[in-house]
Amino acid sequence: RFVLLQDNVPLGVISMNLAERALILGKGINFIRLCLGEGRWELDLASLCSNQQETNKKASLGYRYDPATASSTGSINCHPGKTVRDERSNYANVLDMTISRMAEQVNSHILKSLRDKHHLQTHLWALKQFLLLGRGDFVSALLDGLHRELDPRSDDARRVGLGEM
């Protein structure tokens, strides 16, 4: 349903790896909202900021367009002593950290919901009991059925054996 179109990824701005991680993050959010039935769930953006970045939340949450720092051509105005490449690298690192923190939050919410609300451990245990021979009942029934099918009478076996010679 969701696909990453390589032609639409601005490779000069973000890497394909980062775009793929963002796609997976979006799939996780979609899973929470649709499959887990939590349509109003949102990321807790305040918890994404570390204590050091608390004073500058806007800068720590990825790309933010600020007309004061962008030139009329749309390029980045650099701080003194920094090149455009340094600024883009810094923005990419901030975006990378932001996506990593968001992914931690989304993944932990999915696991917590599956464990607590949907009782994943109980369902897995039941599957183990049934399919992985947890109680041995399945094996007993299987062997009894196979014994009836594979244990022919001796005279039938001889007739088949003689007819084939």
> Cα(145)–Cα(140) distance, rounded to whole angstroms?
9
- pLDDT tens per residue across all 165 residues of the chain: 789 998 988 877 788 999 999 999 999 999 999 999 999 888 887 776 654 444 455 454 554 544 444 433 344 444 555 565 666 677 778 888 889 999 999 999 999 999 999 999 999 998 888 777 666 777 777 888 888 777 766 556 555 554 555
Q: How many CA atoms lie within 13 A of 46 on its CB side?
A: 0
Phi, psi of 135, deg, nearest 5 = -115, -10
**Cα distances (Å, whole numbers) of residue 161 to 92, 146, 154, 164, 165:** 76, 21, 10, 5, 7
Q: How far is CA 43 from CA 71, 104, 109, in A?
A: 32, 11, 10
Backbone phi, psi, residue 70, to 5°: -105, 140
Q: Cα–Cα distance between 44 and 32 in angstroms, integer?
A: 14
Nearest 5°: phi and psi at 76?
A: -85, 130
Give this prediction's pTM.
0.60
